[in-house]
Chain A
Amino acid sequence: MAQYIFYALSIVTILSALYVVFAKSPMYSVIAMIVCFFSIAGHYVLLNAQFLAIVHIIVYAGAIMVLFLFVVMLLNLNQEPDKSHGKLLRVAAAISGGMLFLVLLLSLNTSETGTFVLPEKSDIGMVEHVGKKLFNEYVLPFEISSVLLLSAIVGSVVLAKKEA
């Protein structure tokens, strides 16, 4: 059963990711990206990482993609047709992407991943477990990331402001 869910989610993920790359208008890219993020959240649920699935939906689909949609609408990009690179450059891009995949595939071929013990049931992805880890071992990086977010807020306001 889990296999078929994995197949379905993976097909949706790959197809929507390809559509992000090949869509004509940036608007369609954003919509396909949202579909891709929801399917990745499904993968997280399948992997027993329920807390991360919810955070992923809230942060990515709820905040980041809304920001993208907002900018695409603000800049009114749909009027100009999106030009693409020259033919030579496109072939080179496709070849180098494919070669990278080939290299990753060959390195996976020799890897050993069958050594993990697989328990029947696990609750490590629940908010209780992840929260304990986050606030005990990783409390300093957590606090520092708040400073990072603050600097991102200040930086984006300064950058997007009209020059005085």
Chain B
Amino acid sequence: MENALVSVPHNWYLLLSSLLFCIGVMGVLLRRNVIVILMCIELMLNSVNLLLVSFSAYAQNADGQVFVFFVMVVAAAEVAVGLALIVSIYRNVASTDIDSMKKLKW
């Protein structure tokens, strides 16, 4: 395992995380369920985390891993507040469809 970095080119990690990010973007655009949209946002955050960890490992600098730690904190806070919002909206309109929140556009 110690020569993992030698045999896996860094470009592959760039490719993998950009693919994951695009899947997340496509999910946000494609789906109408708010919970699935929130999960796709998590997917995008995770792709960026993976990229930060790979850069930190290849550059031998632990700063990137500290950043990933903070991104996880922000993601946890975001999910807690977002799900509370979804529960609160569901109580009022009895739906998690994104189109039932059209009034937010006004």
Q: How large is the interface on B (under 10, 10 to 19, 20 to 34, 35 or more residues)?
A: 35 or more
Q: B81 touches which one: A20, A52, A97, A152 (CB < 8 A)?
A: A152
Please encode chain B, from 28 to 68, with 1 for each CB lying within 8 Å of some chain A CB and 0 for all others: 01111101101110110010011001101111111101101
CA–CA, A63 to B66, complex, Å? 20
Q: Which of B1-52 contact A (CB under 8 A)?
A: 1-16, 18-27, 29-33, 35-36, 38-40, 42-43, 46, 49-50
Chain A: interface size category: 35 or more
What is the minimal beta-carbon distance from A90 to any residue of chain B, in angstroms? 6
Interface centre among B5, B15, B27, B62 (most CB of A within 10 A): B62
In the complex, what residues of B have CB within 8 A of residue A33's CB?
39, 42-43
* CB-based contact A101/B5 at 8 Å: no
Can you list 19 contacts pairing A with B, beta carbon distance less than 8 Å?
Answer: A2-B4, A2-B8, A20-B40, A21-B26, A26-B35, A55-B72, A64-B79, A71-B87, A77-B96, A82-B32, A84-B32, A92-B29, A94-B30, A96-B25, A113-B14, A133-B63, A137-B63, A151-B77, A152-B80
Told that A43-B16, A44-B50 touch, could you supply 9 new A-B pairs with CB distance under 8 A?
A29-B39, A37-B46, A43-B13, A46-B8, A48-B4, A52-B68, A101-B22, A111-B14, A116-B58
